[in-house]
Each structure stands twice: as structure tokens, then as C-alpha cells.
Amino acid sequence: MEIKRITTDETLQLRRDVMYPHWSLDQVKMDHDAEGLHYGLFANGEMVSVVSLFISGRTAQFRKLATAVHHQGKGYGKVMMAHLAKVSREHGVTTLWCNARASAENFYLRLGFRRISELFYKDNIAFYKMDISLEPAAKQRFTIIPAIDVIGGKCVRLTQGDYAQKTVYNEHPLEVAKEFEDAGVTRLHLVDLDGAKAGAVVNWKVLEEIAGKTSLVVDFGGGIKKEADLKIVFESGAALATIGSIAVKDPQLFFSWLATYGADKIFLGADVKGEQLAVGGWLETTDTSIYDFLRANLDKGVKEVFCTDIAKDGLLQGPSTGLYKKIIEAVPGIRLTASGGVSNIADVHELEAAGLAGVIIGKAIYEGKISLDELKKML
């Protein structure tokens, strides 16, 4: 996928076909086209989306955002909007606006635009004027999330998801959780590996104990396959449920949980190999790209996502920072947490600098590669 500057004439075919199919190409030309910056988004060599940007001092208007009908719903519009925001900021623009078709209002609202006019009509089409501030938002805190993996009620770690490569670090997960809390940590990633293997929640009593005896905000995953599992997790004190394979294998069920419990209660996990999704304890790689999967879920309201590169997890060889940067660029609006591969505190600083929302750290803590004193300085 690539976005390139194009000429006015190169925008006209898509403009017309998508927005005004009964008009001639001359009719879709705009008076000030010569003053605009025109962009085309290309996928597999085909130009699939176009837009025109008109900059005037500290404001900029974009017009005629059009994506080929057979390519709609693939996230290209979001990518194009992220590009316009980037270009606008480079030109010192602080407000980006458009006259949005009423039928596209929700698309722009999800991107953070606001409606600033009453409904009006032009050429018998309903519009709202909408804008968005490009001023830098207050920086959100980078979140350190230690992980506790549980087998048989004990704190363990696996290497690359292999149950045969198990190390027991502590017989009592609550003790570990309290150490994290005493260091100033506020979040905990709790994984029921027995549950993941059994296909149903097993270690809910460990969750109940940690949630009841610490102030940690706990996300809990492993074995959540049915509504009953989800209820057990929340009743046992989890602030968020970590959902992985179900979101891939049964998206409609996952979306129903989103609607029932709200996006604030869901932490979506995506395992990736190369740039493709992996499921089933990493034994199965799908044909779904990580980018398409994440765009589809953000469109449904997902807010928090963590991504594990299975080639890195448990190896202490460094995180997949390059992949995470590509995801952040390709999926505008995502709050992405890194998982897997962190080997030292420099890796954590690298991920923060790359724009990640946070990082899940497990083995590096247990193997003494990162000390709680080092983490304290980042909390």
C-alpha cells in the first residue's frame, strides 16, 4: 500500500464513479483544483482511493475523498485520513475540516471529528460541516504491564507457547502480584494457561485472590470461549477480559460481547507470525493480515489491543518494534501494547519512543533482565 501525489485529472475517474456516477468528468472538476494537493492510495498497483487537500494558513479543507466501491470497508479511507493529518501538520495546520455527507458522518465521528453545522443540502445531497483539531493531544502515559502466567495455580513462563518448555518462578502468584504492586505497578496481565489448553477458564481462584487482595487493574485471559467464561472472569474481579482466538474464529460472538460489556472491558490480543494472524496456541497461521484484522475490530469499537510476535515471545531477543511501527501507521487511532521479546529496559524505552501505548513484560522480569527498580523509574 502506497500513497502518492497525483494530478487533478488522475482524481476525476474515482471522484465521478464513487460520488457522482451520473455526472461527466468535467462536472466533477472543482474551481480551485489547481491550488490543491491531490493524493492517490495504491494497493497492489491499483489506485483505490483519492482525495484533495486545500491548505489555507492554519486550516485545511479536504474534499472528494472517494474509495472504489469494491475496496470500501478495508480501512483505506482511515489510512488516507491519517496521511492528510500528517501532511497538514507538516504545513503548520491546526484544524482540518470538510463538508461531510450525512451518510458518512459516523465514519468521521469515529476518527474524532465533530459536527459544527446544522444539516444542509447541495445538489440534493445532505451534508454536515465537520472538523478536527490537529493540535498535539496531551501525551497519554506509557503503561507497564507485568505478566503472570498460571499453570496449576503457580506462576510460570513458557518459551514460545510450548508447554514442554515451562519454568516455575513462584508457587504463589499473589506474592508476585504484591511485589509488582509495592513497586508502583497498577496493571497486571494474568494468563490462565491451563484454561487456554482446556478451552474453559480454570484458574479463576487465582484471579479472585489477586483482584481481592491487591489494587491492581487485572486483565485476565486464557480459556474464554463462551459467555459463561466471560461472566466468571468479571465476577472473579477482572477489570478487562483478554480475548484472542475467539475474535478470529467467531467474530460475531466477539462483537456481541463488545456490545454487551463495552469496549472498556475488553483487551484484544493478536498473535502474529510475519504479518499474518496466528491462532490455536500458535499452531495455526491464518491467511488474515494483522492490519485487516485490527482495522475491522477498531471499526467495531475496540479500543485496546496487544500484539505478540510469536517468533519473539519468551526468547529475550528484543521486541518487534518495526512491526509495531507499521501497525500504528497502517491502523490510525489504535492504542497498541507490545508483547513478547523484551529483554532489557532499553527495549522498553524503545517501544515508548515508537509510539506504543504500553508493554507487557514477563520473562525479562523473572530472569532478572529488568529489575523492579528500573521499572519504577518509568511508572
Selected catalytic residue, list 149, 192, 219, 309: 149
Consecutive H or E run containing 349: helix 345-353
Cα–Cα distances in angstroms (integers) from residue 211 to residues 174, 205, 224, in the given order: 9, 10, 18
Which among 114, 75, 78, 76 is positioned nearest to 96, based on CA atoms?
Answer: 114
Cα–Cα distances in angstroms (integers) from residue 62 to residues 2, 39, 83, 141, in the given order: 19, 11, 12, 32
DSSP, residue by residue, 88-103 = HHHTT--EEEEEEEGG
8 Å CB contact between 142 and 378? yes
Helix (H, G, I), strand (E, B) or coil at 144: strand
8 Å CB contact between 178 and 147? no
**Angle of CA points 21, 26, 29, to nearest 5°:** 90
What is the grid cell recorded at 215? 489494587
Consecutive H or E run containing 229: helix 227-235
9 counts as catalytic: no
What is the grid cell recorded at 207? 484471579
Selected catalytic residue, list 194, 219, 271, 309: 271
Residues 6+ positions from 124 with CB-CB distance below 8 Å: none
271 counts as catalytic: yes
What is the grid cell recorded at 105? 458522518
Handedness of CA 38, 330, 336, 348 (dihedral sign): negative
What is the grid cell recorded at 218? 487485572
Which among 77, 75, 73 is positioned nearest to 64, based on CA atoms?
Answer: 77
Consecutive H or E run containing 316: none
- Which residues are the active-site residues? 149, 271
